[in-house]
Amino acid sequence: MVSELTTEKLEPKEGLFVLHLFYRFEAGTTAGSEVSTKRLLSAVETLLAEARGTHRSQAATLSLIGRADLGFVFLSPDLYRLHSWEKRLGALLGRHGWTKVFSFFSMTERSDYTTSEEEHADQLTSQEGLVPGSPEFEEKMKSFRERMRHYTEVRLYPTLPDWRFFAFYPMNKKREPGANWYALPFSERKELMQGHARIGRRYAGRVIQYVTGSTGLDDWEWGVTLFSQDPYEVKAIVAEMRFDPVSAQYGEFGPFFTGLQAPVDEVILRLAGSA
């Protein structure tokens, strides 16, 4: 196992590695005695405890609906550890009738489209008539820097919530004639993304969203992970954003995986306990 064979670390310049893993239980593929199921559960819980006890690492467990049964979301700054958890988990579950149906590897990242200090200073001058260097101007710039510092910290080092409902989907930006996101000038992309973000902010306190980057790491360019207390809110925000130009003209979307946050023993025993 990687974590037992090396003490070397592979850490990014900034942010965390993120891994989504989704499994389906194939009933009848294993004898699945009560003893073997309990052994599986004990081993998986030990692995999860290791992940949750590792510096800046997290693990969420999911009871999925429809195309998968059991899901995991891992965050870690150490790719060797993340790799170890994936392979160990796959080996454990594979021996007991669980098949991986989807995975997604990405990283937390900054947004390319946030307002810069220079832009905010220009807005204070042109829109509010404040004089650079004045006490009010400096106080507002200080408040802006603090907001941006917090925003960047949350983007790069998020804390997974314990909210009940979960949804995930991968996405790309189009490169089609007449709808090529990457052919647009940066200023136009930034204006579009800031409008897109305003929709998301209207759901603050109702939906928590993490957008992680996977360009060069996986088949899709981004992964979108959503948490809420009420599935209605996830349905509402996704539906509203579909009409925004960023999605309507330039978005391509992969399969959706939805479900509930749940203890891993609840999911495994429900499906495999009597196999």
* Nearest to 231, CA basis, from 209, 206, 253: 206
Between CA 3 and CA 201 the distance in angstroms is: 40
CA atoms within 13 A on the CB side of 237: 24
Q: Please tell me the distance from the alpha carbon of residue 254 to that of residue 84, in angstroms, as a whole number.
A: 27
Distance, in Å, from the CA atom of 153 to the CA atom of 155, rounded to the nearest integer, reads 5
Contact 24, 97 (CB under 8 A): no
Active-site amino acid positions: 169
d(CA 76, CA 88): 16
Handedness of CA 207, 210, 211, 216 (dihedral sign): negative
